[in-house]
Amino acid sequence: MTAVASGLEVRSVRLDDPLARVLLDELFVEYRDRYADLLGVDGLDAEALARYLAEFRAEGLEEFLPPDGDLVLLLAGGAPVAGGAFRRRTEPELGEPARRTPGAGEQSHAADGTPLVATAELKRIWTHAAHRRRGLARRVLAELERRAAERGYVRAYLTTGPRQPEAVGLYVAAGYTPLYDPVAVVAAPPDALTPRPFEKWL
């Protein structure tokens, strides 16, 4: 637990901590609202949505635990206002190999896209709707990167969705390199649910 500026506190929690539930539940609502038509949840009844939410809350429970992962919240007055998590990435990654950091491509990944260097995958980056445009997501991102580097990770990888331009802007401003062709993204059909992958060397 670490105090930070502006009266905010940084706290590590488990994914099943009640404080983390605030983050997960609001993220779920946001994803549902932005992607309902693409995810096929438009016509789901309350019971089906509850099952979907329960699965979302539990996904990656063990993966976000130390030493390989962490889930970090920014708290104001004890209430979560922003947060995010990271875990070790061991699966093949999305994105175009040619767009990975020049000079590191062959050494950093196997032929199938599996990372060969210690890579932290950042997930669940969120800011409470009432606290946006205050730089909190940038603080969370910096804290996740710092903690990942302390654990021996040399590279960060993350993805965001096609209907989250704010996230794209955040990652580019924070020094992340897009691993996709922006021109092709613009030309993609509006119903294409294609994640936008990014990388950053820590």
Higher pLDDT, 75 or 97: 75
Q: Which residue type sits at 126?
A: W
Question: How many domains, the chain?
Answer: 1
Own/partner pairs, 138-142, CB within 8 angstroms, 24+ separation: 138/170, 138/173, 138/174, 139/4, 139/8, 139/74, 139/82, 140/72, 140/74, 140/82, 140/83, 140/84, 141/84, 141/170, 141/171, 141/174, 142/174
Q: What is the pLDDT of residues 144-153, one digit of tens each?
A: 999 999 999 9
pTM, two decimals, is 0.85
For CA atoms 107, 111, 113, 117, the dihedral sign is negative
Tens-place pLDDT, residues 119-138: 999 998 999 988 988 999 99
Residues 84 and 72: beta-carbon distance below 8 Å: yes
Q: Looking at residue 1, what is its pLDDT?
A: 45
Task: Identify the CATH number of the domain in which residue 122 sits.
Answer: 3.40.630.30
Range of the domain at 8: 2-201
